[in-house]
Chain A
């Protein structure tokens, strides 16, 4: 049998599209690359126009140096760059870009028009590239600088187009990307418009804190506490928000290394560690952390979009960040109020859920993560062993594929940000008393719809087997379990029970909505404004009628009934945050949970209520019926378990 030659060198346009797959993930990445180019060209003012979430049109206008006709043409071919001459330059690179990949990559998946003029040239050069083919080159009139228009993004890559989310979500990613660039470059004037509406306008700011004020809106910025610490060449500037502003997602933590917005689990963890017990488990602080390391101590050429960096001494950087945050927190004015709320320093197993088993969730690709025991001081999910990045990417792909196939399955899939949480294995756990089973804390449960979740396996009646001993401080139920002391927060427990009841009841109904006589205006961040405008129907389904009200204000015209006057604003902010992160339907579900949880919170026993034995036992029995994956987003732990062995150790036996 003869074997024919099968291996061929790929044609250039295929190579470009593959490269584009890495660099250009979504409209926001196009914006990021183009604005970075503008910054590298010495621009002082960059104006970004986005239409249709970036799918229809992205236009980036800068007043930088511009390019000569020769450079303009060359810039569109791969690995052509003005920013790098040799491999050695890679260490300590001063420009944002250096690979010469962005423009040709973008050009290969969209219709790109480049117009550029240098100060010396009389006329500007305009080049149109369509699907990677460089078209006509003309001379036109234009101001000094470069204008790049990217139209019909991914029109020739249907597979990629399919994975884009709604316009509102993409628009909010763009706002996020621009906002991060603005944060890293306070001296530049950045202006972003979505469909002509100004979403962000950040004139040059004298300092990071000033810039943060522009970007975050007065509500948040007013509560930021700045701190700068320099140690061993590592300079950390952190703007820390008060712990009560903590969010359920890590979105509020912005990390910058050498003026690049990066994602770095280690640094994120370091920030959370810096806050210590002030921020409860499952929640993340709001903080902006800018790290500068000596040239040569960081490699930025790791990630195609340069979202990750590699430090030559990652531990030292993490330590510096942790120390800086800790010092900032210690010196912040809000510490005094919050310190009293810090939990008791007892090392014990505390978990959201009773020991129990879970049935299989039809989520493809979730790697089995061994159950891990968590001490009371494991602050954030980030503390849990994180699977490798590859495994994570693998899971994401599987998840995306699953979502594309069935929306129902997608609605059940835990959210990507929950990836580092200990995922309970689908197989029943042999030893139900293994206290190591940590239920989905934080946000794991948010995305799961009650009506859709498969029936859980029969649960061992953990709570009913507890022997109720008494009430402590009118707040905690003290119980004896099998070889352990179990403390239950009566308010949190009852809230869970009530929440579950409300949730089951409301599953079939729409949210009742109370309209307002006078719209209430609240301040939100720039990214949320775009969502308010574009996702009005989603918000309406959740019981909110909201309209942009100029600047960073929105007007609330109707609220979910049953919330007290001050609560709608907090719930809405949470919902907007979630909408930016996930698809509409899932955010609404999470939001409904939040509304229900808030209502549940009204109607239950409080800390300080005396419960007699019968009431306490009834509460314990009811707890066994609670699906803990559907815990309320308030996310405080319900119980604390002290093994007898731990008591023995403390008594020195």
Chain B
């Protein structure tokens, strides 16, 4: 095996590969990246942690066929620091890789490519082209409320539903939920939602960087994403997402519209005075919203904001972190908060055409 490749081209493939390669795995092979020539002018670069797999088809000039795996991080760092504009890589005896760039010669240890796990092949699926910025926005707006507790794996990802023209993403950690809907023409036509794990979504975001369009496909048990020469296959979480529609309040009795920036600022001030276990109290009375919190170790804070509220007085406690994170994903100037009773979920929406809701369960304080 021997090939020549432009440095910039090689780096583009290796950068993502080394972030996916799993250094901590008990399988040493997973820390490696697979390099395999394809025909005369293509190089396949692949990395996987068995859940997220990257394959890149890079342009190269191949002089001898074959494959090899080497440590992904080492190869990436080495290529980045190489002096020349092009590199040549040659497999020698005992799976050593000999790399030349300019006047520099490297020899690094490798492992045979036949031991590399089989990665899902993007050539076997049918892609649809979607707007990359919409996809990225939908991920941002739901990723923050994914549950990080690994024992509840059905909540460790974002639910993705897609009809081919519209798409929906939902995430929840059991305390709060966020749901976003967008038109997504070209998206897959799914009969049921799929759960994309958090790590996979982070990698999808990386692949989407700088792209205007991307190709998307779902073929269980994977979701595939392709941006030019990079293809990502993310293993879906095989579990039942909770019935989220049931917990989104249908017809809350009370509703108030608040200036988003003002509320976020106020909540941040209140957060300074609340310990990690204590919430912030939002009290609504005619014309005002009072935000208050206290911490026996520190002191207390109270702030009043004008509001359009006209209903009967009610006070409800929230974890300020949940509200701030949610409001941070909204873009409208005004947001609405709809409430049932003081122990019922709070429904937050941006004012305007943005099809986005957040549900936050209250705290009893």
Contact = CB atoms under 8 A, between A and B. Distances in A.
B176 A505 contact: no
Interface in A543-588: 558, 560-562, 564-566
Nearest to A569: B151
A518 B278 contact: no
A512 B151 contact: no
A517 B296 contact: no
B297 A505 contact: yes
Given A505-B296, A517-B247, A561-B277, A512 B174 contact: no
B277 A599 contact: yes
Contacts of B278: 512, 561
A520 B149 contact: no
B297 A566 contact: no
Interface string B347-362: 0000000000001011
Report, as a range, how many residues of chain A touch the other chain: 20 to 34
B361 A516 contact: yes
Given A506-B296, A512-B363, A565-B149, 16 more contacts: A510-B365, A512-B317, A512-B364, A513-B365, A514-B319, A515-B361, A517-B175, A517-B176, A517-B177, A517-B361, A518-B172, A518-B242, A561-B278, A561-B279, A565-B152, A566-B149
Contact of B276 (A513, A520, A562): A562
A561 B318 CA distance: 11
Contacts of A517: 172, 174-177, 242, 247, 345, 359, 361
A558 B364 CA distance: 9
Interface of A: 505-506, 508-510, 512-518, 520, 558, 560-562, 564-566, 599, 603
A512 B277 contact: yes
Contacts of B297: 505
Nearest to B362: A515
B97 interface: no
B147 interface: yes
B8 interface: no
A566 B175 CA distance: 13
A175 B198 CA distance: 45
A505 B151 CA distance: 32
A566 B149 CA distance: 7
Interface of A is mostly: mixed
A516 B343 CA distance: 10
Contact of A514 (B152, B175, B247): B175
Given A516-B174, A561-B277, A566 B151 contact: yes
Interface string B68-89: 0000000000000000000000
Nearest to A505: B296
B247 A518 contact: yes
Interface in B170-190: 172-177
Interface centre among A517, A558, A561, A564 (most CB of B within 10 A): A517
B174 A565 contact: yes
A123 to B, nearest CB: 56
Contacts of B365: 510, 512-513
Report, as a range, how many residues of chain B touch the other chain: 20 to 34
Interface string B246-284: 010000000000000000000000000000111100000
Contacts of B176: 517
Nearest to B322: A514
A520 B317 CA distance: 21
A558 B363 CA distance: 9
Contact of A515 (B151, B152, B343): B343
Interface in B92-145: none
Contacts of A520: 174
Contacts of B364: 510, 512-513, 515, 558
Contacts of A510: 364-365
25 contacts: A505-B297, A509-B296, A512-B277, A512-B278, A512-B279, A512-B364, A513-B365, A514-B363, A515-B345, A515-B362, A515-B363, A517-B174, A517-B177, A517-B345, A518-B174, A518-B247, A520-B174, A560-B277, A561-B278, A561-B279, A565-B147, A565-B152, A565-B174, A566-B151, A599-B277
A603 B149 CA distance: 18
A142 B34 CA distance: 81
B26 to A, nearest CB: 17
Interface centre among B173, B296, B345, B362 (most CB of A within 10 A): B296
A564 B149 contact: yes
A506 B278 CA distance: 11
A545 to B, nearest CB: 9
Nearest to A560: B277
Nearest to B344: A515
A27 to B, nearest CB: 34
Contacts of B362: 515
A387 to B, nearest CB: 41
A126 B173 CA distance: 60
A196 to B, nearest CB: 29
